[in-house]
Amino acid sequence: MTEIILHEPLDMHLHLRDGEMLRTVAPLSAHSFSGGLIMPNLVPPVTDGEMVRAYRRRILEAIGDEIFEPYMTLFFKPEYDYDFLAPLAEELTAIKLYPAGITTNSEGGVSGFEIEELRLALDAMSELGIPLCIHGETGGFVMDREKEFIPIYEALADAFPDMTIVMEHITTAQSIAALDRHPNLYATITLHHLLITLDEVAGGMLQPHLFCKPIAKRPEDREALLQAALNAHPKVMFGSDSAPHPRHVKEAPGCAAGVFTAPIALPALAELFARHGKLENLQHFVSNNAQRIYNLKPPKKKVQLTDTPMQVPEKYGEVVPMFAGETIGWSIDAVSVE
């Protein structure tokens, strides 16, 4: 296959930031995706209905005439109860839980994972049908943080069997295995975790624009992720975790975590799936599974990709993308809205 048409592609884990950065990056996702699950870890984080609505308005203003649905999320707080969440349920696609201090702008996250301390909010979410998305890492040794979090995922899945729980940007073979043990566990997988291991980040000269959290893992972990994505595992979906930072913040001591992939995500995925002879499964990974898991009806959009090489720009505004200055084998040929 030398071309493919994707229908209603979705990015189910997307950082758009705010202000000037929002105006730079939002149109890049809105051009080629029908919608995206928007992360709430702004400064300050998005924690109430007024903030959700205001942020959505800023996103729609930033994307201009592009057809794109921002699926909004709330930053998890244990004190949320039914009365607080019920009026917001129709405006939210999910609520995002961050362990405190584990990643960018997560200082106000959860410090403990005792079920009873979280029950007030999680019972309300279960009753209202609001999915829970989790950045699943402990504070342990960096290569083991996701693996150590799996028992927490499983305890939450058992305690709240009616809740859809999404393990965000998984990076390990153990997380893939956990999907098959619990009917209400699902997962997003990024482009970069399908392509790189820790070797690409730090095996030679440090590559700051590939540094992310969760950190890229071992070849066997990448292989497990690849097999799930390529073979249309029904419980995994694409979430770019595209995380823009200005170049001076990435190429600096204390390098900010995040890989910016939004503009090249679909061409790079098409190239990857084509190389493995699985291009026919890309539609499931980038759209069909997410629509079913989240019960979404995204705006109609067709994205035609071909095996025409694409030169990746050195930067978009002040943000350096993955593959900056390199040539990837596929490109977007046309985007049409019905």
Q: Which two tokens stand for residue 191?
A: 């482009």
Q: Catalytic site residues?
A: 241
Identify the CA nearest to 75 among candidates 51, 45, 104, 100: 45
* E strand intervals along the chain: 3-7, 10-14, 35-38, 69-71, 73-75, 94-97, 132-134, 165-167, 185-189, 236-238, 301-306, 310-311, 327-328, 331-337
Per DSSP, the residues of 41-108 read --SS---SHHHHHHHHHHHHHHHTT---EEE-EEE--TT--HHHHGGGGGG-SEEEE-BTTSSTT-TT
Whether the upstream peptide bond of residue 214 has omega within 30° of 0, thus cis, is yes
Cα distance between residue 162 and residue 123, in whole Å: 10
